[in-house]
Amino acid sequence: LMLQPSVVATKVVCLTQVVTPDELKDDDDYEDILEDMRTECGKFGTLVNIVIPRPLPSGEMGPGVGKVFLEYADVESATKARQGLNGRKFGGNQVVAVFYPENKFSQGEW
C-alpha cells in the first residue's frame, strides 16, 4: 500500500497537483502554462523537454493529466528544481515535486 518513495534522483522531475483538466483543454491556457513552466523551471538548469499531458479531444482523461514532467540535462539541475519547486504555488495549487524514473518517462509512461 506504501507509495514508492521517489528518493532516487533522476533527470526527470514530475510536478503533481499542478494543473486542472479544464485549463489544459483550452489552447491558450495550455500555451500559457507551458510558457510559465519553461520560464520558471528553466531557472534551475537546462531544460531538455517539458511534457504536460492533455485530456483527449473526446474529453477522456489520458494518463498523467494534471502532471507536468520536466526533463533536465543533468541530475544536479533536476535536484535543484525538485527542491526549489516543491511547495511552491502554481495557479493557486501547491506543487508537489518528485523525481520520476527516466525509463518510464522516455517510454511515455505517465
The residues binding other proteins (CB under 8 A) are: 3, 5-7, 9, 32-33, 36, 39-40, 82, 87-92, 99
The overall longest dimension of the chain from CA atoms, in Å, is: 39
Please provide the distance, in angstroms rounded to a whole number, between the alpha carbons at the two ends of the chain.
Answer: 20
Instruction: Output 94 or 106, the one with its CB closest to other proteins.
Output: 94
Instruction: Output 3 or 59, the one with its CB closest to other proteins.
Output: 3
**Shortest CB 83 distance to other proteins, Å:** 8
Own/partner pairs, 33-42, CB within 8 angstroms, 24+ separation? 33/68, 36/90, 37/68, 37/70, 40/85, 41/13, 41/70, 41/81, 41/85
Instruction: Output 90 or 110, the one with its CB closest to other proteins.
Output: 90
Q: Grid coordinates standing for 18?
A: 499542478
**Shortest CB 85 distance to other proteins, Å:** 9
Instruction: Output 8 or 56, the one with its CB closest to other proteins.
Output: 8
**Shortest CB 30 distance to other proteins, Å:** 12
Q: Grid coordinates standing for 42?
A: 528553466
